[in-house]
Amino acid sequence: KTGLTVMEIFHAIEDGDVRALYLMGENPALSDPNLNRTRKALEKVEFLIAQDVFLSESAQYADVVFPAFSFAEKDGTFTNTERRIQRVRKAVNPPGQSRDDWRIVCEVATAVGLPMQYNNGSEIMDEIASVSPIYGGIAFDRIESVGLQWPCLDRDHPGTKYLHKGEFKRGKGKFHPVLFREPAELPSKKFPMILSTGRQLYQFHTGTLSRRSPAIDQKSPTGYVEIHFKDAQKHGIEDGDSVEVATIRGKVETKASVGTQVARGWLFMPFHFAEGPANMLTNDALDPIAKIPELKVCAAKIKALQPK
């Protein structure tokens, strides 16, 4: 049976169909759209477990928090977007009572009557290889240096450097016509601008890790909204001014970044910052097929908090 997508889970909490939630390295209290709605769901769910390296915004809602290892404290593997499976090796000792993610999962599973017994990450990789054909030839002793790229079907397979070389596996590429559909929310007289959100170079996702680096935080200490200088002039806004950005879902105070990075009529905000949470404003309307929220377009307005 197909399960629920991330956004559908929170809607199901509202409806009373989901009563318990287990978050692993996820921070929906900052990353999901329409945060007022998401945070109410986190308050409503009967039992919430959060498993993370630090006490994130979402973990603060939890009934139980499992402290997990960071990447530098783990021993195991990771697969990158090049399809390369590589070794991760422990660099520093973990603090306090934190544990490896897989050990936490095993102990929880055992506690609820579904025992999982492993001694190390190598045994877990062996099981993955036994049930996933593209990982069939992967084992720790084969990836100690540069790793291997899947598909790697058996112990004698050298890995697959090029997944598609010269042509796709089926021959020609398969294309599907897609009809244009207007965004769920368009500018109006009350909200005449378009807000888009996204990432910036120095921070990663909700900043659970990156915002704890003094060097990174020095480069990117706080949130902001980018606005075209012509729009800024129209609203009496100068670079660095405190401003309020609002949509039908809420409002956020932040700093203005005036320039030509965005087109006229548009605003852009990075979503990494808890003190100016852009996703307090974004629309949680879902794509009908992918069930992905429309984070890139919503109707908004902006004003200076200290008018000139």
Looking at the chain, which residues constitute the CATH 3.40.50.740 domain(s)? Answer: 1-67
Q: What is the spatial distance between Cα 2 and Cα 5, in angstroms, rounded to a whole number?
A: 9
CB 72 within 8 A of CB 53: no
Cα distance between the two ends of the chain: 59
More confident position, 180 or 20:
20
Q: Is 275 left (phi over 0), alpha (psi -120 to 50) or beta?
A: alpha
- Residue 165 has a pLDDT of 84
pLDDT over 70 (residue 307): no
The residue among 181, 206, 190, 187 whose CA lies nearest residue 267 is: 187
pLDDT over 70 (residue 63): yes
- Residue 194 has a pLDDT of 98
Centre a 10 Å sphere on the Cβ of residue 84 and count the other Cβ atoms it contains. Answer: 16
> Residue written as tokens 């974004």?
282
pLDDT over 80 (residue 308): no
- Residue 237 has a pLDDT of 97
Which residues are bridge partners to 87 per DSSP? 77
- Residue 241 has a pLDDT of 97
281-291 average pLDDT score:
92
- Residue 164 has a pLDDT of 87
- Residue 170 has a pLDDT of 82
13-38 average pLDDT score:
97
Domain 193-304 matching CATH 3.60.15.10: the answer reads no
pLDDT over 80 (residue 196): yes
pLDDT over 90 (residue 290): no
pLDDT tens digits, one per residue of 209-260: 898 899 998 888 999 999 999 999 999 999 999 999 999 999 999 999 999 9
Tokens of 240: 């660095």
Tokens of 84: 């390369």
More confident position, 169 or 183:
183
The residue among 83, 81, 82, 77 whose CA lies nearest residue 134 is: 83
Looking at the chain, which residues constitute the CATH 2.40.40.20 domain(s)? Answer: 193-304
- Supply angle C-alpha 146, 149, 151, rounded to 5: 155
- Residue 90 has a pLDDT of 95
CB 190 within 8 A of CB 262: no
Q: What is the spatial distance between Cα 96 and Cα 193, in angstroms, rounded to a whole number?
A: 48
Reported pTM: 0.89
pLDDT over 80 (residue 160): yes
Average pLDDT over all residues of the chain: 94
Complete DSSP assignment for 56-123:
-TTGGG-SEEEEB--GGG--EEEE-TT-EEEEE---SPPPTT-B-HHHHHHHHHHHTT-----SSHHH
pLDDT tens digits, one per residue of 85-127: 999 999 999 999 999 999 999 999 999 999 999 999 999 999 9
For the domain spanning 1-67, the CATH number is: 3.40.50.740
Dihedral over alpha carbons 125, 127, 133, 138 (to 10 degrees): 30
Reduced to 3 states (helix: H, G, I; strand: E, B; else coil), residue 268 is strand
pLDDT tens digits, one per residue of 269-285: 999 999 999 999 999 99
